[in-house]
Amino acid sequence: TATATGLDIDIRGHGPVSEGVRGVLTRLAGELDLARLSLHGDVVVERRPPAVGEGPARRVPPSGGFLQATQAGEATLTALVLGAMDEGKARVRRVADLFCGSGPFALTLAAGGREVHAVEGEAAAITALTRAYRAGAGFARITAEARDLFRRPLLGPELDALDAVVFDPPRAGAEAQVRRIAESKVPLVVGVACDPGTFTRDAATLIAGGYRLERVTPVDQFAWSAHVELVGVFRKDARKPAGRTLRRPR
């Protein structure tokens, strides 16, 4: 990872290494002026905290942790998420950021005065988010929770207290969580996805539950590949009853 303070290298695909090899790696990290060097996420040496992101979203992610492909891509996605929050008549005050990673959306939303509940399955990412939040200033309240949303999605009472939900799952999508969102009263949902196929499935569930898909914006951040990121904005349609979710095909 190319960070603001130097390269963050995580070596994988090998077995255990001796202390002698670790010593050599530490020396090489100094010669190459690396910010951090890790083995399968286990930090060998951190010469400088490898910071990523800009402005309020600046943070030090866990070694080997999930990041957007490019800094420009992250900034574009964040702008699209924030733009959706600023539209409409109702003020968005309370937001859940689901599959939040190390918190680029959560930190930026809180910097804009919105209370955020950030949820991510990887505890190390939640730790990185919490550190960035505590080290910053001017944030609204962020609560952070390490929780497997595939097995334990947020439920109706948790969702109904929110003004908006942002979800940014891996390629598998957010099927279990989206079913719960579709049954909820959340007025605004923003879905960020790196797989158009699973996004289409999740969007159909939301639409069947009474949401209207307002727009989809593609973001071409995966250079030299056919993959595309996208952001979809959904609003609860007052003309349709909540809770009409799709059944899983037999």
245, two tokens: 């979710």
Residue 246: alpha-carbon gap to chain centroid: 25
* Residue among 224, 126, 227, 129 nearest 171 (CA): 227
Using CA atoms, how far apart are residues 90 and 223, in angstroms rounded to an integer? 37
CB 82 within 8 A of CB 101: no
Using CA atoms, how far apart are residues 39 and 29, in angstroms rounded to an integer? 12
- Report, as residue numbers or ranges, the catalytic residues: 194
Residue indicated by tokens 């530490």: 26
Q: By 3-state DSSP, what share of the chain in percent is helix, strand and coil, each rounded to 5?
A: 30, 25, 45
Amino acid at 52: V
